[in-house]
Amino acid sequence: MATSYGAAAPRAVAHNMVTTQFELDGYRVVRTLGVVRGITVRSRSIFGTIGAGLQTLVGGNITLFTNLCEKTRAESFDLMLQHAAELGANAVVGARYDATEIMQGVTEVLAYGTAVVVEAVK
């Protein structure tokens, strides 16, 4: 799959046109364009790891890791939406996330779904 994901990429699919369901309420699928994905690979910095280690001493939410995870998921999601737009989609159904630790401290986050063209039900 060759995607530009660059400045010349078409506008991304709107967030409200993405669902984990296989149907989008109020719309009908008129064309299925195929699987789309966005992949981001992140590593923890030594400073982030030390800071998160200190946060574990007091317990509770480890905000350094929470923020890293949220940023990574959001980036993967946005890349998936860009890929869908490149194919001419205006929606994504069956959206999912997957994460794999590639090596210690390095994780790949994948957002994927099915790019579709939908039209409003009258």
Question: DSSP of 71-89, one letter per residue?
Answer: HHHHHHHHHHHHHHHHTT-
Q: How confident is the model at residue 74, as a pLDDT?
A: 95
Q: How confident is the model at residue 2, as a pLDDT?
A: 45
- What does the alpha-carbon distance between residue 13 and residue 15 come to, in Å, rounded to a whole number? 6
Q: What pTM, to 2 d.p., does this model score? A: 0.80
Mean pLDDT within 77-84? 97
Domains and CATH numbers, the chain: 15-43+71-120 (3.30.110.70)
For residue 112, give Cα distances in angstroms to 17, 37, 49, 101.
Answer: 14, 4, 28, 17
Instruction: Give the pLDDT confidence of 104-113 residue by residue, as tens digits.
Output: 878 899 999 9
